[in-house]
Structures are given as structure tokens and as C-alpha cells.
Amino acid sequence: MPMISKLELANDLINGRFVHYTDHYSFQRLYPFCNENVSGYMDFLNLEGKSVLTVGSSADQAISAIARGSKDITVLDICPFTEDYFYLKKSAIETIDKKDFERLLFYKDYPRTFKNNRHPFALKDYPELLAHLQTQNEESHNLWLTLSNTYSGEIIRKNLFTQDEEKPSVTRQLTDYLKSEKTYLKTRERLAGVTPHFINANITHGIPTDKKFDTIILSNLTTYLNLEEIERLLDSLIPHLNDGGQIMLGYMYRTDEYSTYQEEWDVIYHIDKIKGLNPDIEVKSFQGVKGVLFETPHMKDAVYVYQKKR
């Protein structure tokens, strides 16, 4: 991160000072949890035993990929706190039970709809978590400990994180690890021994590594790009893909392969234009976030999957 330490940036954000240090103002804050159906689209991706590059400040894409058997993970994000949040979540999964994990990190509509968690981010209630975090990543431990010694959990949760958070019953279905006690414990097992490589960078400027991957996950970051930028990004990523590898190129809410594009929508929703970029791009749909909320499988979200020929 340039010029300023993460602690200084966190202090500025938490105190509500206007700051613009990262490449993209909107992505300085952490996403508390994914707000797309990661679990839904992971059914279309090869992850078990694969090398994965994923975006994701909430760390949920990385944790879900690990839950599905990937041990070789690179996490790239513009947000400088991504690595620290990954280690916080990993240490929490490894030391506290699912109920306490949710009590620590859920905020909106927790424990009941229209109520917010009254004691969010109460890190000091979990000394065993902090002790484990220290063994995992000293720098992350020091950051979280300093912040929780300085601020209330509520102000950290409100100002260092975005407000984009689905209600708990939805979030549990969007990730793999929070679906049930069983998946939580399975994820705990699989997280042990996995040490991701973290890159704090803007992916549109290229990936600063020579490594090749089997699966690349872009979350919904292409929503913020125009068609030329999406094409350039795809072209820059294909050389980083092994033969037969896949790129999850973009996420579309409330859409399936038959949806008709509306002029006011972002270009990522223009299926003909995006598929026109490369003949090896397909659209895959699954129960969407709203489908999960309203418990109806017919409300779909979709992703683009590019598959490199063998």
C-alpha cells in the first residue's frame, strides 16, 4: 500500500475522514460478507485440487474455494485490508464455534430482522481467537488488536466495512462454510495448512505474478468496467490460465441467459456483447441472491464462464 500505513488508513476511515488512497475510492472498505451467490456459481467451477486466483475483500470467495478443496490460492484485491480480514475469519473459524463466529461478524438484521447486532466485532470477547491470530499472522493480529483497543466494535463495523450485507439467513446460503455446522467444521479442517498468497493491486493494471492458474474468479468487479476494459482484462488474464482453465468473468444479479438487456444497465449485463468478446464464454445461471431471500429457485443470478481450450 502506498505512502500510508494500513493503521493510518483504518484510523481515517473509522473517524469518518475523507480519504482516497487506493486506486478506487469505493473499494477502500471491506465487504463484511459476500453479497453474491458464491456457492451458486462455484458449482460451475473446477476447484478441488486446483490453483485459484480470486478477488474478494470479504475473503468469502477464498474461504469457499478452500472449502471446496483448493489448497493453492492467490487473493488479489484493491482493498488493503483483505489479507487481515482473511486471517481474522480463518482464526475465528479455527477457534470458535459457528454461533460465536456469527455473533462476532454478522451485523445487519442480527440476531433478528430489522435489528442490528448490539455488540458486533467484540474481538476481545475471544482471547483464544486473538492468540491464534497472532500465530497465524502477527501484522494482522496487531492491526485488529490496536483497532479494538481504540474503538468500539460498532464503529469499526460501521466505518471500516461497507453497508452491503445480506441478512444472516441469506448470507449462510451464499457461502459454503456457513451453510451448516457440518460445512463450518469441514471448512475448519480444510483451512488448516492453507496459506494464500495475497496481492494488493488493481487487476486492470495486470497481475503482478508469472503464475498460471486453473480457475480465476472476478466476483462482480467487471460491473465497474466498460466493454473495452473488460476485453482488455480478459485478454490480460488468458495467458495466466492453464489449458482447460476457467475465468469467472462477471456476475449478473436478477438475470439468466434469456434476459433482455436494458439500456440503463451496466454493459456486463449485455450478454450478446460480452459473449461477442470470445467464443469460449458461456452464461451459467443459478438461484440468485433474491431467490435465496424469497426462497424461490426461479429468481436467478448468472455468471460468465470463459473456458480455455486444451
CA 137 to chain centre: 20
Minimum CB separation from ligand SAM for residue 62, in Å? 10
Q: Does 79 bind ligand SAM (CB under 6 A)?
A: yes
Amino acid present at 169: S
Query: Which region, judged by CB under 6 A, interacts with ligand SAM, from 70-78, 141-149, 152-160, 234-242?
Result: 70-78
How far apart CA 139 and CA 1 sit, in angstroms, is 14
Residues near 12 by beta carbon (within 8 Å), at least 6 away in sequence = 19
Q: CB–CB of 100/120 below 8 Å? A: no
Q: Which of 136, 148, 204, 242 binds ligand SAM (CB under 6 A)?
A: 204
Minimum CB separation from ligand SAM for residue 6, in Å? 14
Q: Does 209 bind ligand SAM (CB under 6 A)?
A: no
How far apart CA 36 and CA 39 sit, in angstroms, is 9
Minimum CB separation from ligand SAM for residue 118, in Å? 25
Q: Does 202 bind ligand SAM (CB under 6 A)?
A: yes
Q: Can you state the angle between helices 181-191 and 98-105, rounded to 10 degrees?
A: 90
Q: Which of 13, 34, 160, 178 binds ligand SAM (CB under 6 A)?
A: 34
224: how many CB neighbours lie within 10 A of its CB? 14
Minimum CB separation from ligand SAM for residue 131, in Å? 28
Q: Does 31 bind ligand SAM (CB under 6 A)?
A: yes
Task: Name the residue with the smallest CB distance to ligand SAM.
Answer: 57
Q: Does 77 bind ligand SAM (CB under 6 A)?
A: yes
How far apart CA 278 and CA 258 sit, in angstroms, is 19
Q: Does 78 bind ligand SAM (CB under 6 A)?
A: yes
Give the burial string for 40-62 (b: 16+ CB within 10 Å, else e): bbbeebbbeebbbbbbbbbbbbb
Q: CB–CB of 61/196 below 8 Å? A: no
Q: CB–CB of 76/55 below 8 Å? A: yes
Element (H or E) spanning 65, and its range?
helix 60-67
Q: Which is nearer to ligand SAM, 33 or 126 (CB)?
A: 33
The footprint of ligand SAM on residues 227-266 (CB under 6 A) is: none
Q: Which is nearer to ligand SAM, 36 or 109 (CB)?
A: 36
Element (H or E) spanning 306, and its range?
strand 300-307
Query: Which region, judged by CB under 6 A, interacts with ligand SAM, from 2-10, 88-96, 136-144, 197-205?
Result: 197-205
Minimum CB separation from ligand SAM for residue 270, in Å? 18
End-to-end CA distance of the chain: 37
Q: Does 176 bind ligand SAM (CB under 6 A)?
A: no
Minimum CB separation from ligand SAM for residue 76, in Å? 6
Q: Does 55 bind ligand SAM (CB under 6 A)?
A: yes
Amino acid present at 30: L
Q: Does 140 bind ligand SAM (CB under 6 A)?
A: no
Q: Residues touching ligand SAM: how many (CB under 6 A)?
A: 21
Footprint of ligand SAM (CB under 6 A): 24, 27, 31, 34-36, 55-58, 76-79, 202-204, 219-221, 224
